[in-house]
Amino acid sequence: MRCEVLVIGGGPAGLMAAIYLARFRRRVVVIDGGASRAALIPRSHNLPGFPAGLPGGELLARMRRQVEELGVPIVRGTVTALEMGNGDIIASYDGEPIMAQRVMLATGIVDKQTPLADWTSAVRDGELRYCPVCDGFEATGRKIAIIGPLEHAAGKALFMRVYSCDVTLIPVGDERNDARRRELDAAGVRVTPPLHALRRGEGAIVAAFADGSSERFEIVYPAMGADVRSDLAIRLGARHTPDGFLEVDTKQRCGVDGLYGIGDVVTDLHQIAVAFGHAAVAACHAHHSLPMRYAGPSG
């Protein structure tokens, strides 16, 4: 299989890139593993034009339909390797090579989970949330817990104090960071003993602590970090942070000729609107970097 642009990942960034490129009349293929983080969003309230919000799954379904109506194939599967060859980037997919002149890596991240057994149900019911930038407004006035290593979780806890006077940080591990604890205390954020266990209970999440006590919270935000799906690019020589996020220039290029990083895989604000912007910038640059294919008399 050969195409001009291969898009790896079918989340908001990848699908937006495919829409732009198809409308530029480029030969595009999308390969998607079906694990977009956006699919977990119960309802996104900061998408313009949807004041009542839009579920992440519905957004993806609408975008997939738009991509398919533009004639772009969306192939379900996983790219296992990328390599350079004769001016192309060669992707290995199901043992077969796909050759592309440009590649958009839109593989995203996977949030590290708290020890909550039925976490997907808690996400669906709005008790477990991952993005305070996305839905902190909807948590206004609620009893909120942030769970994670103290240094990593403190910023999210302080951010949520904008929305509620009842914010608690539940540390994972017994990390001592007196400066951070003083900052949290000054902002009115309580720090509990370390986390022992989590369970769901009648519209709340119950946290059990290392000292044997427990407490109920209406909303829990994990701050456990994430695994970045950037290995394909890093093995090819892409620039990246120590955490594995791709470092890109103003055109979303990550240091490998013909390879772009877009969406959550990039070290940037992890928002759908930002992913759309990444996709537009990268698609426009890729289009103009390729030889033009002028229309004939029949269009």
Q: Is the pLDDT of residue 68 over 80?
A: yes
Q: Name beta bridge partners: 261.
A: 105
Q: Is the pLDDT of residue 86 over 90?
A: no
pLDDT mean over 66-80: 96
Q: How confident is the model at residue 299 (pLDDT cuts 50, 70, 90)?
A: low
Give CA torsion, residues 45, 47, 49, 55, to 10 deg: -60
pLDDT tens digits for 200-241? 988 899 999 999 999 999 999 999 999 999 999 999 999 999
What local confidence, expressed as pLDDT, does residue 96 receive?
A: 86
Indicate the range of 81-95, 153-167, 233-247 predicted with least confidence.
81-95
Q: Is the pLDDT of residue 174 over 80?
A: no
Q: Is residue 240 within 8 Å of 234, Cβ to Cβ? A: yes
- Of residues 202 and 61, the one with the higher pLDDT is 61
Q: Is residue 183 within 8 Å of 159, Cβ to Cβ? A: no
Where on the phi/psi map is residue 5: left (φ > 0), alpha (ψ -120 to 50), or beta? beta
Q: Is the pLDDT of residue 268 over 80?
A: no
pLDDT tens digits for 10-38? 999 999 999 999 999 999 999 999 999 99
Write b or e for each residue in 231-241: b if 16 or more Cβ atoms lie within 10 A of its Cβ, otherwise e. bbbeebebbbe
Q: Both tokens of residue 101?
A: 């002149």
Q: Is the pLDDT of residue 126 over 70?
A: yes
What pTM value is reported for the model? 0.93
pLDDT mean over 95-116: 94
Q: What is the full DSSP assignment across the chain?
A: -EEEEEEE--SHHHHHHHHHHHHTT--EEEEE-S--GGGG-S-BS-STT-TT-B-HHHHHHHHHHHHHHTT--EEES-EEEEEEETTEEEEEETTEEEEEEEEEE---EEEPPPS-TTHHHHHHTTSB-S-HHHHTGGGTTS-EEEEE-HHHHHHHHHHHTTT-S-EEEEESS----HHHHHHHHHTT-EEPSPEEEEEE-SSSEEEEETTS-EEEESEEEE---EEE--HHHHHTT--B-TTSPBP--TTSB-SSTTEEE-GGGBSS---HHHHHHHHHHHHHHHHHHSPP----TT-
- Of residues 46 and 16, the one with the higher pLDDT is 16
Q: Is residue 229 within 8 Å of 245, Cβ to Cβ? A: no
Give CA torsion, residues 158, 159, 163, 166, to 10 deg: -30
What local confidence, expressed as pLDDT, does residue 233 receive?
A: 97
Q: Is residue 208 within 8 Å of 196, Cβ to Cβ? A: yes
Mean residue pLDDT of the chain comes to 95
CA distances from 228 to 79, 144, 150, 166, 242 (A): 15, 27, 21, 32, 11
Smallest CA-to-CA distance from 74 within 135, 28, 27 is with 28
